[in-house]
Amino acid sequence: MPMVEQPLRSRVSAANDEGCDFPIQNLPFGVFSDGQGPRCGVAIGDMIVDLAECEARGLLEAGGTFRAPQLNDFIALGRAAWDRVRARLTELLAEGADEDVPLVPMDKATLHMPIRVTEFTDFYASKNHAFNVGVLFRGPENALPPQWTHMPIGYNGRASSVVVSGTDIRRPMGQVKAENGPEWTACRRLDLELELGAIVGADSAMGQRVSVEEAEQMIFGYVLLNDWSARDIQAWEYQPLGPFQSKALGTTISPWIVTQAALEPFRSEGAARVNDLLPYLREERPGFYDMTVGWTMNGQKMGETNYNVMYYSSAQQLAHHTESGCPMRVGDLLGSGTISGPTQDQTGALLEMTQGGKSPVKVNGADRTFIEDGDRIGLYGFAQGDGYRIGFGPCTGKILPAD
């Protein structure tokens, strides 16, 4: 029997261009609309596969879930369905395949939130970031909290303010520390956070502790995630119960969910461990990816690093999330925490890059410490394969003035 080779090229020619984020090896899921209402699709090159129409034509089968304006119902079908649909799309979109596949040009479509976010949790898993920010908030002695190398520290964020790439973000008002008590002001230290977001794809029951291996099986895929942060509001509010309104102004995610399956070839070790982890957090296989992530401001490249600088994987974070018996649900979004490498040009937040606003950076010739009105922040991320790359597409947001 002859070896069947994995098809490497797509019938959609733009998918074969070097540097295209959406080759046939990727097949990320999203929600789009054109003339008709929002429904589920998959990106391929410069096109979107209309999955609802595919199912209507009998090209694939997903219980009608692709007609929904979010992917939660499809994701809830489980891993076997994810794998089956991915395999079928790989057939349908391969070079030489000739079944008629309904495609919509991406530039004619509007992209929507890919999921209804059930709950949003944000972690703090880059050691460089945790140390750098800790120095700025608490000084070098207390920079890294004592439990940091023992557990993935996280907090519950606000799901209602998660928005899709392209949504403008309003500069928030808030309380800020001033000389005589607090002042009510527009945020003066508005920042981004470069993160990856993991989408939980299966429920766990209340009281059920999920192992790291099980947790990995529960993850459907990943988005880019910008956790906009009001640093001056944060500094005044965050003790002792953590960040609240400083992180509720908006969280931007990419419209395309890159599946775990697409990232599998890029599996990588993470940062070196300082100490052994407790057994419930130990990972048999490394749960990180060799994946470039970075951000731009008004089109200029700013910080760039690799996701594999992280100290805790999404699977470890998800396992920890259930340690108390907390139930997880399809559509839960877990932010990785800001991804920062050790050097200034590898930082994923202006707070770190400018050392708390003390060292401005040049952006298109102008000095910047924090984000100004009208600034546009873009995130990017891709895993580089042999002749193709698995990318996320854009994840951008522009800041509107406070009102």
Provide the annotated active-site residues: 129
228 vs 388, which CB is nearer to its own copies? 228
Contact between 173 and its own copies by CB under 8 A: the answer reads: yes
221 vs 250, which CB is nearer to its own copies? 250
Q: Which of residues 123-142 bind its own copies (CB under 8 A)?
A: 124, 134, 137-138
Q: Is the peptide bond before 152 cis (omega within 30 degrees of 0)?
A: no
Contact between 79 and its own copies by CB under 8 A: the answer reads: no
Picking from 162, 71, 55, 163, the residue whose alpha carbon sits closest to that of residue 119 is: 162
DSSP state of 263: H
Picking from 223, 164, 174, 176, the residue whose alpha carbon sits closest to that of residue 199 is: 223
The pattern of x and - marking residues 248 through 277 that bind its own copies according to CB under 8 A reads xxx------------------------x--
Contact between 164 and its own copies by CB under 8 A: the answer reads: no
Contact between residue 50 and residue 102 where contact means Cβ atoms under 8 Å apart? yes
Neighbours of 116 (CB within 10 A): 16
Contact between residue 42 and residue 10 where contact means Cβ atoms under 8 Å apart? no
Contact between 401 and its own copies by CB under 8 A: the answer reads: no
Per DSSP, helices labelled H in 284-363 are 314-321, 350-353
For residue 100, which amino acid is it?
D
Three-state DSSP class for 65? helix
7 vs 327, which CB is nearer to its own copies? 327
Segment interacting with its own copies, rule: CB under 8 A, options 84-92, 231-239, 303-311, 351-359: 231-239
Tokens of 82: 């994810």
Strands 190-191 and 229-230: antiparallel
Segment interacting with its own copies, rule: CB under 8 A, options 72-80, 91-99, 321-329, 390-398: 321-329
Number of residues that bind its own copies (CB under 8 A): 63
Contact between 373 and its own copies by CB under 8 A: the answer reads: no
Contact between 329 and its own copies by CB under 8 A: the answer reads: yes
Tokens 């600088």, residue located: 309
Q: Which of residues 190-229 bind its own copies (CB under 8 A)?
A: 206-207, 209
Interacting residues with its own copies (CB under 8 A):
118-119, 124, 134, 137-138, 145-147, 150-151, 153-161, 163, 170, 172-175, 177, 181-182, 184, 206-207, 209, 230, 233, 236-246, 248-250, 275, 278-280, 320-321, 323-329, 403
